[in-house]
Amino acid sequence: MKIAIVGAGAMGSRYGYMLHETGNEVFLIDGWKDHVNNINNQGLIVEENGQIKKVKIPAMLPGDAVEIPDLAILFTKSMGLEAMLKSVKNILGKNTKVLCLLNGLGHNETLEKYVDSKNILMGVTLWTAGLAGPGHVVLSGDGSLEVQNIDPSMEVEAKEICDVLNKAGLKAHYSEDVIFSIWRKACVNGTLNSCCTILDCNIKEFGELKQAPQLIRNIIKEFSDVATKYGVELDVEKVANGIEAIYDPSQAGEHYPSMHQDLIQNHRLTEIDYINGYVSRKGKEFNINTQYNDLFTTMVHAKEQLLVK
Ligand code: NAD
């Protein structure tokens, strides 16, 4: 299958590499010039369990892509999605399936402006990846993903895409309710990412705070109130219990969430507007009280002003 990875940072490089290894015709599209040049000049460096491989996968800047793929997998950061869709719209053919795997909320609304809803697949991924530098991806741990079509008539096509992903070892399964899963994952990011970023601590340290249980429930309650408007029912206690299981060091306790890595460690902008910020915006629209999400959104933006130059 011809597959474009649209946004080939850490996660895009992981998916691109795994799909390339199983014989798909993969090309990487990314706006970071040094990254694209390094991949083309030396190959994508893939580091896994201390082993290093160099893999030849074509890479290009968004404006340079001309071939129409069967599948485009979106892996920009949330705030780069719309600009990326605009700059690659020439390669999104009338039969190109577009799979969105970004974290965050509201991406289906953005996609519908550029892609026929028949071709939109939404997903949630539990794989992880990091970049050690331009052209150098670091892979660790195991993962999986779930995928579902937005248009009910496209189930067969979505299942075919799952098969391609599975052949690459990505452990994809067809989801019966991907929008629910997207909201549930957004609750994890909307609590652990935002709290650990503002408090500058890892997940285990956050979980040990006596304020943590009430704080996460207050945040999740607001997610749940807004989600109801989209027909999604989130059980606050169940979601909170799932998040509390992650505090365990054998899970992800020792990790700093990606928002902490982006902002506190690397001084990059965050996806806050698509997590707590989305709930805050929609709260205003639907006249729902979202005071915790309002405050976290404001605080993360304030921290961005201090750290991102
Ligand atoms: P990323 O930051 O690695 O890449 C996103 C974009 O930023 C790419 O265009 C990349 O080239 C560019 N970029 C990265 N480092 C840069 C630098 N130093 N200078 C200039 N440009 C740079 O993003 P990601 O981690 O692959 O995340 C993509 C999406 O997947 C996000 O929505 C994220 O929340 C989600 N996600 C990430 C992970 C993970 O483990 N990384 C896991 C699950 C979901």
Tens-place pLDDT, residues 154-167:
999 999 999 999 99
- Residue whose CA is closest, atom 25 of ligand 1? 10
pTM flag (> 0.85):
yes
Question: 10 Å Cβ neighbour count for 268?
Answer: 14
**Residue 81 alpha carbon to ligand 1 centre in Å:** 12
**Statement: residue 253 has pLDDT above 70:** no
Q: How far is residue 126's CA from residue 76's CA, in Å, rounded to a whole number?
A: 16
Give the tens place of pLDDT for each residue, 268-280: 999 999 999 999 9
Question: 10 Å Cβ neighbour count for 70?
Answer: 17
For position 254, what pLDDT does the model report? 80
CB-CB contact of 75 with 15 (8 Å)? yes
For position 273, what pLDDT does the model report? 98
For position 250, what pLDDT does the model report? 79
Q: How far is residue 270's CA from residue 293's CA, in Å, rounded to a whole number?
A: 15
Find the residues whose C-beta lies inside 6 A of ligand 1.
Answer: 7, 9-12, 30-32, 35, 75-78, 102-104, 125, 128-129, 131, 258, 271
**Residue 8 alpha carbon to ligand 1 centre in Å:** 8
Kindly report the backbone phi and psi dihedral angles of residue 8, in degrees, each rounded to the nearest multiple of 5, phi listed first.
Answer: -110, 50
Domains of the chain: 2-176 (3.40.50.720), 179-307 (1.10.1040.10)
Q: At what angle do helices 212-228 and 178-188 cross, to 10 degrees?
A: 150
**Residue 6 alpha carbon to ligand 1 centre in Å:** 11
Give the tens place of pLDDT for each residue, 185-237: 999 999 999 999 999 999 999 999 999 999 999 999 999 999 999 999 999 99
CA distances from 261 to 89, 244, 286 (A): 31, 21, 33
The pair of three-digit structure tokens given for residue 238, joined into one six-digit string: 């169940």
